[in-house]
């Protein structure tokens, strides 16, 4: 039987030495995220949400404690082992898109497949399919500077999805977008969630957090609250009725 726990953090601490001081970024974090959950992580500057995102995304390891991802303890993996886990298990969506400016949309999307060892034909087929799924069938040959902000973020989402990862980790995905484009992007992420993906959304915006089904709030490196979202956005209503 497949475990419904996709992420389990047990007594996680993260310390950073700065000069003679030690910054306690995370303190005794205990957290479980289930398969196909849609979770928002919130907190003010300095709350630890960026540090937690880096740990969840296997971009960093804890000072103490254990992190189980798909029942594997990734807490003490080497950098090379973490890189393999990231490529297979996690799709990243960043506020600044992180697209390669000299590559077109399709070339940007298939980059993770190059590292995964897929052949060119398979890479192109998968890339075309996922770009079609985010509504960019007519923009595949366009470079990032030929796309709008919303289109660039859709390319980034397609790139995150192309390896069929276990988790989509979105860090402030609407931070560089206007309100209407943000709403359409969150509708797309909601559709991705409905297809079975686990979504972890890191944001400081209340309006964006309410697209998630569960909201975890951090303060001073600790979990301040962890509640189901009773104000979950209904996409059947129009944008003008939400704000």
**Phi/psi of residue 159, nearest 5 degrees:** -65, -40
pLDDT for the residue 95: 85
pLDDT of residue 234 exceeding 80, the answer is no
Nearest CA-CA partner of 187 in 235, 241, 237:
235
CA distance linking residue 224 with residue 207, whole number of Å: 19
Asked whether the predicted pLDDT for residue 1 surpasses 50, the reply is: no
Average pLDDT of 163-179?
A: 90
The domains located in the chain, with CATH, are: 5-241 (3.40.50.300)
Enumerate residues 6+ apart whose C-beta is below 8 A from 121: none
Q: Are 6 and 31 in contact (CB under 8 A)?
A: no
Q: In the numeric block, which tokens belong to residue 6?
A: 């996709």
d(CA 105, CA 156): 9
Least Cα distance to 94 among 140, 53, 137, 61 occurs for 53
Average pLDDT of every residue of the chain = 91
pLDDT exceeding 70 applies to what percent of the chain?
Answer: 95
Per DSSP, which regions of the chain are E strands?
5-18, 21-34, 38-42, 64-69, 72-73, 90-94, 167-171, 198-202, 214-219, 222-228
What pLDDT shows up at residue 87? 87
**CB neighbours of 205 closer than 8 A, spacing ≥ 6?**
174
* Residue-level pLDDT at 115: 82
Name the pTM for this structure.
0.89
Intra-chain end-to-end CA distance of the chain, in Å: 43
What pLDDT digit, counting tens, does each position of 98-154 carry? 999 999 999 999 999 988 888 999 999 999 999 999 999 999 999 999 999 999 999
The Cα–Cα gap between 66 and 7 comes to 11
The model's pLDDT over 138-170, given as tens digits with 9 standing for 90+, comes to 999 999 999 999 999 999 999 999 998 989 999
């Amino acid at each position: 039987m497949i475990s419904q726990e996709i992420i389990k953090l047990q007594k996680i601490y993260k310390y950073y030495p700065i000069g003679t001081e030690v910054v306690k970024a995370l303190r005794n974090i205990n957290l479980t995220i289930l398969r196909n959950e849609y979770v928002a992580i919130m907190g003010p500057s300095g709350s630890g949400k960026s540090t937690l995102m880096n740990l969840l995304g296997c971009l960093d390891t804890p000072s103490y404690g254990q992190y189980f991802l798909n029942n594997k303890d990734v807490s003490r993996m080497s950098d090379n082992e973490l890189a393999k886990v990231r490529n297979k298990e996690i799709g990243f969506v960043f506020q600044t898109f992180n697209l390669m400016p000299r590559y077109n949309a399709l070339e940007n999307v298939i980059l993770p497949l190059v590292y995964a060892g897929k052949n060119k034909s398979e890479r192109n087929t998968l890339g075309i399919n996922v770009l079609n799924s985010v509504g960019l069938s007519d923009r595949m040959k366009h470079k990032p500077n030929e796309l709008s902000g919303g289109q660039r973020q859709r390319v980034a989402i397609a790139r995150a999805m192309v390896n069929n990862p276990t988790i989509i980790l979105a860090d402030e995905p609407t931070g560089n977008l206007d309100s209407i484009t943000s709403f359409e992007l969150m509708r797309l992420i909601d559709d991705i969630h409905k297809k079975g993906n686990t979504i972890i959304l890191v944001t400081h915006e209340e309006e964006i957090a309410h697209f998630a089904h569960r909201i975890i709030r951090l303060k001073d490196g600790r979990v301040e609250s962890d509640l189901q979202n009773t104000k979950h956005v209904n996409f059947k209503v129009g944008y003008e009725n939400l704000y």
